[in-house]
Structure 1
Amino acid sequence: MTGTSQERGYGLLSALKQGENYWIEAVLEKKNLDAVINFLHNITGKPVRITDRTGKVYACSEGVKMASADDHFVDIPQNGNSILIYDPAQRDLYYRADSSDGEAWIIIGNTGEAEYPAWLPYLEEVATAVKICIFIAHEKENMEHQFKKKLIEDILLWNASEIKELIRQNKYCLDLDKLYFVSIMEPVLDSKTDMETLYKHTLEWLKYHEDVVICSVWNEKYIIFICPNKYDLQTLESDDNWDNYLSYIRKHQKDIAKRFNIPTYFGIGRKYLITELHKSYQEALTALNISKLTGKKNSVTHYLNLGVFKLINLQETAMLRQFCAENLGRLLEHDRTTKGELLQTLRVLCDTDFDVNAAAQKMFLHFNTLRYRIKKIEELTGRQLDRILDRLNLFVAVKLHDLLLLNGLLGEPGSAEKEAADSTANNPAAQLMRRRSCL
């Protein structure tokens, strides 16, 4: 392409003179941003991308690399309500197409600081059309998300009649006669990353990797994956080797860490028919929480690998609470009445394999102070920490106590009990466990 960007712009003034209505009609008729992208690319001679506020790319000019999930996202500079941002290091120009909330951005790459002032009239001309197109795209995404959320809610909360009706309506090719399993990701978000951005990145990542039937945000805390069972192509028998899927998750985990620099936890349940998939969800959630409570960082944990902790998922909630009370009841009461730290001390001992020196260092305690606390723990629990069976009972009781408390299933006297009850009302895991305990 020859001539300066300004000369190329004059050659396209006939389109510009149509006004913003011309571009609005163009995007509504074509239902995409191709006309806008081509116009801006011809005006500037530069690579052009259009994104929303999360940095997700909705359109780009020819030649822009889009070979991976990361290529579909751009880091939008945080610079207040500035309509125009120029990054001299990257030579990128960011134009806020929606001045009110920054939901739409036009990004022109490889730009010199002296070049872009001449492009502002053209950017202003197409801004409303870009804003409308991004708004429509978001509305479609929200409708899709609400449908998936409803479907997942019915599957995971065991509404069997609703499941069958939704499967008849949906486009995800779910089959009542095939096996599926649930995987749960819990990210440790920071101030730079929100769940919406991570979810959109995950959806793009899945397009370049293994197929997942449904992926959705769940309970504002997790990203849920409903995955189809694999079958041996020669024998048509179920493939029970989890290694491929585990390596696939670890790759996803690694890519998230590289892109967002945040840790994630994954839990995986066993395979079931759709109408029984709530069991896989509960297993995946148990695997995820147990791995966190046992101090594993960035873990990928399958329910089958939980060992003795698998027994937790087989018991009624009332029995689990009773086990905690029998082993920790007097200790918990002592902590409540004296504002003591014996439970935390026992928790650290469990996490350090009952190594007294390591526990003292971790808690910044004098060795004799820790020995005194251990003596008090033994007195209140009736257990001896130098006996393996007593250690096992206390270890399981502590982890079980934390797991039940995490899911809002372990009420404590006073305000804590009310808080646990309130959290249960909005906690799908707690609802499901309570339903199980009533069967």
Structure 2
Amino acid sequence: MVNVANDRGLRDVELPSAAAAASPAVRELVAGLSLERLLALPSLAGVRVATTAPDVSAGAGAVLTRASLLGAPQASVPPCAGHLVVVPADVLARHEAQGHDVVAALASAGAGALLVTGVPAATADELEATRERAALHGIPLLLLDGGEPDAVVTEVLGALLDQQTAILARVDEAHRILVDVVLAGGGLEDLCERLAGFLGGAAMVTSTDGRVLAEAGSEQALTAAHALDCFDRTGRLVTEREAVGTRPPGTPVSGRALVRIVAGGLGHGLLAAFVQDRSLTADDVHLLERAATVAALAITKEQAVSAVESKYRAEFLRDALAGRAGAPAEALLHAAALGWDIDRPLVVVVAETYEDDEHTTRTSEEVTDLQQRFSRAWSRAMAVRDPRAPVMGFSQEVVALFAVPGDADTDTVMRSVGEVVRVVRGDGGGGRRTFSTGVSRPVESPADLPRAYEEALSAVSVGRQLNGDGSVAHFDQLGIYRLLALVPDSADLRRFVEEALGPLADDDVPEHADLRTTLSILIDTNMNVAETARLLFFHYNTLRYRIAKLERMLGPFTTDPQLRLKLALALKVHQMRGI
């Protein structure tokens, strides 16, 4: 479409466009031409740049998407965002004679540049007031000696149509190439490699919460991308504060763009592009959107294959944890056929969500999607650490078999597990399910996996009772709590605590919590009054007064070892949540 003049000002005329058959999204995203390229057109030969926009050099940075003629002064200026507005010098003079501020009106309407034709160099000074107003409003002002306004508009229109045609052809060709990559068996890495080549930078596919699944580009481009502030210290793309789509040109973030990968109404992740030497334009973003549809095809294809493989893997791991995987030699061979290595020292790790899926307000589809994302997060984190480690999701838990050195102590194992837990939990990562984690003792044979699985389940259950949601507990760290957790009726434990601690069993009085702390440290220090006073920062006599008060409430525990044992157990039970 182009605007031509008549007696009423600007008039729209429908003209053929290469983008006319495309969707509205395509028409909106097709980029225009820079003013610098338009100035090279034959009809603009000899044009003079009288003033430039304050944020561009010599006016060359302005991007124009339309061309229009400014007609007689009887009508107001319509919206003309991105237009090269062409006006003959005599028409401009008629506007000014009637008191119209043409430059201000065009700036308000969003014009990209103003071209005045019929302005010989000798008379250019007569437009000094117009030049000053153009500089004030930030509109590039161009002067042309002679020139046919209609010819200028027609030629600019032709150049823009050629540009649109080239952009659409480029996007279609890129889309065809990307589809061929996937149909030929390529994955997300191949897709990113092609896309990085098209854009001249780096390309990445991430999960919905920013975990990088695939990336490609030169080493320099990838290093520069990961150094940006949009990545956190774990290497996650912080999607919560990253906008999707184009960025304003010239801003620090204009060299990166993100689009969503969607298939079947579900989000499968994000496709991101990063370039260093330019801003990503609207047509680059459109190319990314076309590539995202191809990425969705690749992801759904991988998910279909993975679903079949996961079924057999889940059945085997469930059998192995239940002791039904056959002889150890058979289990090792079966695991190897599934791509797993269990012929080494292992610990069983259980990550259990504590959302009550049976009584949740979420739909069953939402619960399933959350659990699948939770399982995938563990699989990806483990794949980085150990690609041949078994990881599977079951109902509200994920089970992983961690390989550990044969001589690893508990602290070493917990540090290793804790690193993966932190990756899965993420730093504010969106969409993660809250969970607690339990770790078993090391096992040497597949025959011992059922015992290790029970240990991990005990660790996750007792750890949550002791430390609350989000705990990470090792079976060897449970101590006496392992035995207490075996008591099937929590009501019996509550009665035991109430009988042993009496009024200290509740917090109706604020002092009760302090007295329980004093009693616990006294028992832990084997009734060493001086050491307890030091640990509690009490004066010795103050602590003696507290001990006397405790004995009046609980009995002579300082001299009765059986009573001390009873009180110690009651304090341990009191620490357990849910009792």
TM-score after normalising by structure 2:
0.47
* 1:49 equivalent in alignment to 2:204: yes
The 3-state SS of whatever aligns with 2:480 is: helix
Distance 1:8 1:115, change over 3 A: farther
Aligned-partner Cα distance in 2 for 1:52–1:297: 25
The 3-state SS of whatever aligns with 1:245 is: helix
Aligned-partner Cα distance in 1 for 2:305–2:478: 40
How far the C-alpha of 1:187 sits from its partner, in A, is 7.9
Aligned-partner Cα distance in 2 for 1:141–1:385: 63
Aligned-partner Cα distance in 2 for 1:348–1:284: 34
Aligned-partner Cα distance in 1 for 2:179–2:518: 60
**Amino acid across the alignment from 1:182:** V
How far the C-alpha of 1:277 sits from its partner, in A, is 1.9
Task: Find the counterpart in structure 2 of residue 92 from structure 1.
Answer: 256
How far the C-alpha of 1:134 sits from its partner, in A, is 1.7
Aligned-partner Cα distance in 2 for 1:146–1:317: 36
Structure in which a larger fraction of residues adopt helix: 1
**Could you tell me whether the CA contact under 8 Å between 2:462 and 2:482 is conserved in 1?**
no
The unaligned stretches of length 5 or more in structure 2 are 1-36, 38-62, 64-161, 356-369, 523-532, 534-546
The 3-state SS of whatever aligns with 1:287 is: helix
Task: Find the counterpart in structure 2 of residue 135 from structure 1.
Answer: 300
The 3-state SS of whatever aligns with 2:217 is: coil
Please list, as runs of the form range in 1=range in 2, the aligned pairs for 1:245-284 lying within 5 A after superposition: 245-252=413-420, 259-260=427-428, 266-271=438-443, 273-284=445-456
**Amino acid across the alignment from 1:249:** V
Task: Find the counterpart in structure 2 of residue 224 from structure 1.
Answer: 399
**Could you tell me whether the CA contact under 8 Å between 1:54 and 1:197 is conserved in 2?**
no
Task: Find the counterpart in structure 1 of residue 239 from structure 2.
Answer: 76
TM-score after normalising by structure 1:
0.59
Task: Find the counterpart in structure 2 of residue 353 from structure 1.
Answer: 520
How far the C-alpha of 1:133 sits from its partner, in A, is 0.8
The CA deviation string for residues 30-50 of structure 1, in whole angstroms up to 9 with x for no partner, is: 332455434432332222112
Please list, as runs of the form range in 1=range in 2, the aligned pairs for 1:113-124 lying within 5 A after superposition: 115-124=280-289
Task: Find the counterpart in structure 2 of residue 413 from structure 1.
Answer: none
Aligned-partner Cα distance in 1 for 2:556–2:446: 44
Aligned-partner Cα distance in 2 for 1:395–1:287: 21
The CA deviation string for residues 159-196 of structure 1, in whole angstroms up to 9 with x for no partner, is: 42579777654424556x8654323346899xxxx776
Task: Find the counterpart in structure 1 of residue 10 from structure 2.
Answer: none
Aligned-partner Cα distance in 2 for 1:98–1:254: 27
Please list, as runs of the form range in 1=range in 2, the aligned pairs for 1:3-402 lying within 5 A after superposition: 16-18=171-173, 20=175, 23-33=178-188, 36-63=191-218, 64-65=222-223, 73-77=236-240, 84=245, 86=247, 90=253, 91-98=255-262, 100-110=265-275, 115-156=280-321, 158-160=322-324, 169-170=334-335, 171-173=338-340, 180-185=346-351, 200-209=376-385, 213-220=389-396, 222-228=397-403, 230-231=405-406, 239=407, 241-252=409-420, 259-260=427-428, 266-271=438-443, 273-295=445-467, 301-312=473-484, 317=487, 324=493, 327-328=496-497, 349=516, 353=520, 389-390=562-563, 392-396=565-569, 399=572
Aligned-partner Cα distance in 1 for 2:463–2:553: 25
How far the C-alpha of 1:27 sits from its partner, in A, is 0.8
RMSD: 5.7
Aligned-partner Cα distance in 2 for 1:264–1:321: 21
The 3-state SS of whatever aligns with 2:520 is: coil
How far the C-alpha of 1:107 sits from its partner, in A, is 0.9
Distance 1:38 1:229, change over 3 A: closer
**Could you tell me whether the CA contact under 8 Å between 1:83 and 1:96 is conserved in 2?**
yes
The 3-state SS of whatever aligns with 1:285 is: helix
Aligned-partner Cα distance in 2 for 1:69–1:204: 17
Aligned-partner Cα distance in 1 for 2:267–2:194: 22
Tell which deviates more after alignment, 178-187 or 10-19. 10-19
Distance 1:144 1:130, change over 3 A: same
The 3-state SS of whatever aligns with 1:84 is: coil
Distance 1:75 1:217, change over 3 A: farther
The CA deviation string for residues 45-87 of structure 1, in whole angstroms up to 9 with x for no partner, is: 22211234233334322232499997764232478xx862649
Distance 1:70 1:114, change over 3 A: closer
**Could you tell me whether the CA contact under 8 Å between 1:8 and 1:42 is conserved in 2?**
no
The 3-state SS of whatever aligns with 1:98 is: strand
Aligned-partner Cα distance in 1 for 2:493–2:437: 26
Aligned-partner Cα distance in 1 for 2:304–2:559: 61
Task: Find the counterpart in structure 2 of residue 425 from structure 1.
Answer: none
The 3-state SS of whatever aligns with 1:60 is: strand
Distance 1:218 1:86, change over 3 A: farther
Larger radius of gyration: 2
**Could you tell me whether the CA contact under 8 Å between 2:205 and 2:215 is conserved in 1?**
yes
Question: Aligned residues, how many?
Answer: 370
**Could you tell me whether the CA contact under 8 Å between 1:37 and 1:49 is conserved in 2?**
yes
**Could you tell me whether the CA contact under 8 Å between 1:155 and 1:163 is conserved in 2?**
no
How far the C-alpha of 1:93 sits from its partner, in A, is 0.9
**Could you tell me whether the CA contact under 8 Å between 2:212 and 2:237 is conserved in 1?**
yes
**Amino acid across the alignment from 1:74:** L
State percent identity of aligned pairs: 13
How far the C-alpha of 1:132 sits from its partner, in A, is 0.6
The 3-state SS of whatever aligns with 2:206 is: strand
**Could you tell me whether the CA contact under 8 Å between 2:246 and 2:285 is conserved in 1?**
no
